[in-house]
Amino acid sequence: AQKITQTQPGMFVQEKEAVTLDCTYDTSDPSYGLFWYKQPSSGEMIFLIYQGSYDQQNATEGRYSLNFQKARKSANLVISASQLGDSAMYFCAMSQGAQKLVFGQGTRLTINP
């Protein structure tokens, strides 16, 4: 069965610093996708970045990058130059084959001015 683990319930970071949010996963399927979503206090789920299991390079989207270490089964999200607006819940998720997403418990990120 698929499993996503986010070990950091909460993180506090100073504005403009980089932050890494941890995510590990467990699957026996060689084909899968890894996603990060942001959920601000308003409640909506915002897609941030995607990494496919066969992708050779780490995914990047603006200030977001995904540090994909396949052998370790980790897919950490890196946010560079953090901003106050980055304060939110962040969810790691995995999908394999059937498109359905299994989510981790989330990490609450707080950016301090």
Partner 1 sequence: DAGVIQSPRHEVTEMGQEVTLRCKPISGHDYLFWYRQTMMRGLELLIYFNNNVPIDDSGMPEDRFSAKMPNASFSTLKIQPSEPRDSAVYFCASSLDLRGLITEAFFGQGTRLTVV
**Chain contacts with partner 1 (rule: CB under 8 A):** 32-33, 35, 37, 43-47, 50, 52, 91, 95-106
CA–CA separation, 93 vs 56, rounded Å?
19
Q: Is the Cβ of residue 44 or residue 85 nearer to partner 1 in the bound state? A: 44
Q: Is the Cβ of residue 19 or residue 93 nearer to partner 1 in the bound state? A: 93
CA–CA separation, 113 vs 98, rounded Å?
42
CA–CA separation, 68 vs 34, rounded Å?
9
Maximum C-alpha span of the chain? 42
Q: Is the Cβ of residue 10 or residue 52 nearer to partner 1 in the bound state? A: 52
Shortest Cβ distance from residue 23 to partner 1 (Å)?
14
